[in-house]
Structure 1
Amino acid sequence: MSNFVTTQDGTRIFYKDWGPRDGQPIIFSHGWPLSADAWDAQMVYFANQGFRTIAHDRRSHGRSDQVWDNNNMDQYADDLADLIAALDLSDIILVGHSTGGGEVTRYIGRHGTSRVAKLALIGAVPPLMLKTEANPGGLPIDVFDGIRKGTFDNRSQFFRDLTIPFYGYNRDGAVISEGIVQEFWRQGMMGGLKGQLDSIRAFSESDFHADLAKVDVPTLVLHGDDDQIVPIGAAALSTIKIVTDAVLIVYEGADHGLTQTHQDRFNADLLDFING
């Protein structure tokens, strides 16, 4: 099934809802600049395990409405809350990759865990990507200014080029999958330029320390130690110091797009966490 939910500010959010309706729900939140389609393999895998799998296109991404304003992390979290309320979901496993990891973390910060059973942060941006005096391990603002310029100047080419570090295709022995490159480009080009530009600020400058401190459900933090997009030091290795009893899994030599490049291993590890 593919449907839309209308948020409180009138934005239509596209979502997929696969698997048995009486299964425990898993909500997958995608990274920038992608869409719900980034999770298709996981949705099929977990639906076949008896779970109800749901993924949505973030506002201004994929098939959701392209809006001029409110492309920010608070609104992303509130959109997720509207989706959860519309479907009347509970006992949810929240899974967020990259920017999606920020989205699900901010959801907990703003809406609590009354509907949430477990949380999985995969190559996720929390607690803070931007380098500041208080966050010296982050990335300098010049990095994100470069992403903004590349996206604005020639978005189509920039998205193709971004796949090289995203999937670790610039590492010795890596074999480029042209299909993965084209699919990343397709999903990215479905979104709206204004919203995608706004989202760069949302994923890079949002501070999730306070949100992480409110996490009180079992949490998986999974990251590749060769992630060139969201370096592990200021992300996963910092998150586990904040979230009580979080479980850390590090994939040695793995890239940012590990849900695809290490798909079978990732699916098995996530299933073990959910069932554990």
Structure 2
Amino acid sequence: MTTITTEDGTEIFYKDWGARDAQPIVFHHGWPLSADDWDNQMLYFLGKGFRVIAHDRRGHGRSSQTDTGNEMDTYAADVSALAEALDLRDAVHIGHSTGGGEVTRYVARAKPGRVSKAVLIGAVPPVMVKSESNPGGLPLEVFDGFRKALADNRAQFYLDVPSGPFYGYNRPGAKVDQGVIRNWWRQGMMGGTKAHYDCIKAFSETDFTADLQAIEVPVLVMHGTDDQIVPYADSAPLAVKLLKNGTLKSYEGLPHGMCTTHADVVNPELLAFIQG
């Protein structure tokens, strides 16, 4: 396996395909998945002549099953270590869901020249949990329910999520793909329970307002209006208002996992933004 080792001894697994002198695109996966969630996009952009890179976040996939560092500052530091190790320059960073939070924090702190553009897809910024400053957020009890379901029976929980809200398979008339459900479950069960448990707090309670305001590069914010995991109204429209150079693209009726269910829509949009 191809890995880097961070300062605290964590091994981060990554894939790195394509010509080393081609423009790099770095993909950041959602919770509780792995780099494999980007297989479709990796092959698509490899075929367009890009260098494509995707890593397993610490505690996820084939990376170390860490019991510490499962929060956004360390996630971003791990990305920085990967970018340094591979000497990535003018990279496009694309993040889905939790990965969108990771992208936001990393890009806000990245060294000059490392990042050219960023994309947030169904992403968690600015902040998910409900509070006085975020009255439209989801109640903390929702995320407590996630933690309880994970602790009680992770294997069943990781079937229930993709079988229902993640891909919109709980909607009337939805065409359910069992392979997609099983692949979600496979990726989730590869990771560590402790890291996944901690990550729920990381993706739900981290406030990315200052990060969004600090980003200088162009950012495309893509979000399905029928996202049942990261509700549209409290995420994408608010995030794009905080960005200096943000563009919002909404997709009527598309679910949280639209990169999988509607790759034929998402991929050309990403290509147009990257080449534009």
Return the alpha-carbon distance in structure 1 between the equivalents of residues 41 and 247 of structure 2.
20
Shift of residue 112, structure 1, vs aligned partner: 4.8
Return the alpha-carbon distance in structure 1 between the equivalents of residues 23 and 36 of structure 2.
21
Return the alpha-carbon distance in structure 2 between the equivalents of residues 210 and 170 of structure 1.
35
8 Å contact from structure 2 (residues 11, 64) kept in 1: yes
Following superposition of structure 1 onto structure 2, how do residues 1-276 of structure 1 map, counting pairs within 5 Å?
2-163=1-162, 164-276=164-276
Shift of residue 222, structure 1, vs aligned partner: 0.1
Return the alpha-carbon distance in structure 2 between the equivalents of residues 140 and 183 of structure 1.
29
Q: Which amino acid in the other structure matches residue 43 of structure 1?
A: M
8 Å contact from structure 1 (residues 160, 185) kept in 2: yes
Return the alpha-carbon distance in structure 2 between the equivalents of residues 93 and 148 of structure 1.
33
Shift of residue 22, structure 1, vs aligned partner: 1.4
8 Å contact from structure 1 (residues 130, 138) kept in 2: yes
Q: Which amino acid in the other structure matches residue 12 of structure 2?
A: I
Return the alpha-carbon distance in structure 2 between the equivalents of residues 158 and 88 of structure 1.
38
Q: Which amino acid in the other structure matches residue 187 of structure 2?
A: Q
Which 5+ residue runs of structure 2 have no aligned equivalent? none
Query: How much is the aligned-residue C-alpha RMSD, in angstroms?
Result: 0.9
Return the alpha-carbon distance in structure 1 between the equivalents of residues 240 and 66 of structure 2.
34
Corresponding residue SS for 1:241: helix
8 Å contact from structure 2 (residues 217, 245) kept in 1: no
8 Å contact from structure 2 (residues 123, 230) kept in 1: yes
8 Å contact from structure 1 (residues 113, 217) kept in 2: no
8 Å contact from structure 1 (residues 167, 257) kept in 2: yes
The alignment's TM-score, normalised by the length of structure 1, stands at 0.98
Deviations along 1:47-91, whole A, 9 cap, x unmatched? 110000000000000000011111111000000000000000100
8 Å contact from structure 1 (residues 112, 214) kept in 2: no
Return the alpha-carbon distance in structure 1 between the equivalents of residues 141 and 215 of structure 2.
31
Corresponding residue SS for 1:237: helix
Return the alpha-carbon distance in structure 1 between the equivalents of residues 101 and 89 of structure 2.
20
Deviations along 1:27-63, whole A, 9 cap, x unmatched? 0000000000000110010011000000000000000
Deviations along 1:203-238, whole A, 9 cap, x unmatched? 000000000001111110000000000001111010
Return the alpha-carbon distance in structure 2 between the equivalents of residues 219 and 184 of structure 1.
27
Aligned length, in residue pairs: 275
Return the alpha-carbon distance in structure 1 between the equivalents of residues 148 and 92 of structure 2.
36
8 Å contact from structure 1 (residues 93, 116) kept in 2: yes
Return the alpha-carbon distance in structure 1 between the equivalents of residues 19 and 108 of structure 2.
29
Which 5+ residue runs of structure 1 have no aligned equivalent? none
Return the alpha-carbon distance in structure 2 between the equivalents of residues 85 and 168 of structure 1.
38
8 Å contact from structure 1 (residues 27, 55) kept in 2: yes
Return the alpha-carbon distance in structure 2 between the equivalents of residues 261 and 176 of structure 1.
10
Corresponding residue SS for 2:132: coil
Shift of residue 113, structure 1, vs aligned partner: 4.9
Corresponding residue SS for 1:221: strand
8 Å contact from structure 1 (residues 169, 175) kept in 2: yes
8 Å contact from structure 1 (residues 130, 204) kept in 2: yes
Corresponding residue SS for 1:59: coil
